[in-house]
Amino acid sequence: MYMKNPVFNTTNLRYQTKKVVNLLKDGASLYLIHRSSIIGKIEPLKKIKEKTVEDIEKFLTLIKAIKPKKLIDSQKRKQIYLKHLKNRYEKDIF
């Protein structure tokens, strides 16, 4: 798939960021070259674990807990807002 330790110069690092991110997600490390000399090695911080069914179920239960009980449709919201405007500014208009 990829070389064991790919080499990127500073220009490629700037223009091929997506490729670098994918390499790091796959767990590969890479060398950074600046002006014809290796100046560093970039390594992933940790292995990204796969999401399991339990993680997804926990996420869905959290979403259900956060979700509001009732959503107000746009017509109802507009009526409430117009009623508020009428109560607040009707005296000033007439």
Domain locations in the chain as residue ranges: 7-42
- Cβ contacts of residue 61 below 8 Å, gap of 6+? none
Does residue 45 carry a pLDDT above 60? yes
What mean pLDDT is reported for the chain?
Answer: 82
- Cβ contacts of residue 80 below 8 Å, gap of 6+? 72
Does residue 76 carry a pLDDT above 60? yes
- Mean of pLDDT values over 41-66: 81
Confidence of residue 8 (pLDDT cuts 50, 70, 90): confident
CB 37 within 8 A of CB 60: no
Does residue 2 carry a pLDDT above 50? no
CB 22 within 8 A of CB 28: no
Confidence of residue 1 (pLDDT cuts 50, 70, 90): very low
CB 30 within 8 A of CB 20: yes
Predicted pLDDT of residue 48: 65
Supply the pTM of this predicted model. Answer: 0.43
- Mean of pLDDT values over 57-82: 84
